[in-house]
Amino acid sequence: MARLKRLFEPILIGSLELKNRIKMPAMALVPPDSEDVIIKRLKAFYIERAKGGVAIIGVSCTPTRLIQDPMLGLYDDRFVRNLKELPEVVHAYGANMRRTRNDEG
């Protein structure tokens, strides 16, 4: 257990300060059949990880074209608002999720 001592210590990476060294990697999440359910479950999934103490959460696997309907992605503007809300949702619970400069607006 002594080897994990620093895992729970804060760390500064460039200008990004994290409360600990726990990172959840980006992963593909298989969505349910309804777009509304996708959004609710996706937010709930990330909130639970943030509540659990994860310092930084990776989000990936957002297709830029329709692959599987109704896969949450960047192929349709209707998803952009919800994707932009994800960092705000996890920040409320002390986790970090970085946005790229291209998703402002």
DSSP letters for 62-93 = --SS-SSTT--SSSSGGGHHHHHHHHHHHHTT
* Full domain range(s) for residue 56: 2-103
The pTM of the full predicted model, rounded to 2 decimals, is 0.74
Is the backbone peptide bond immediately before 87 cis, with ω within 30 degrees of 0?
A: no
Per-residue pLDDT reduced to its tens digit, 1-14:
677 889 999 999 98
Number of domains composing the chain: 1
Cα 34 versus chain centre, distance: 20
Per-residue pLDDT reduced to its tens digit, 83-102:
778 888 899 999 998 654 44
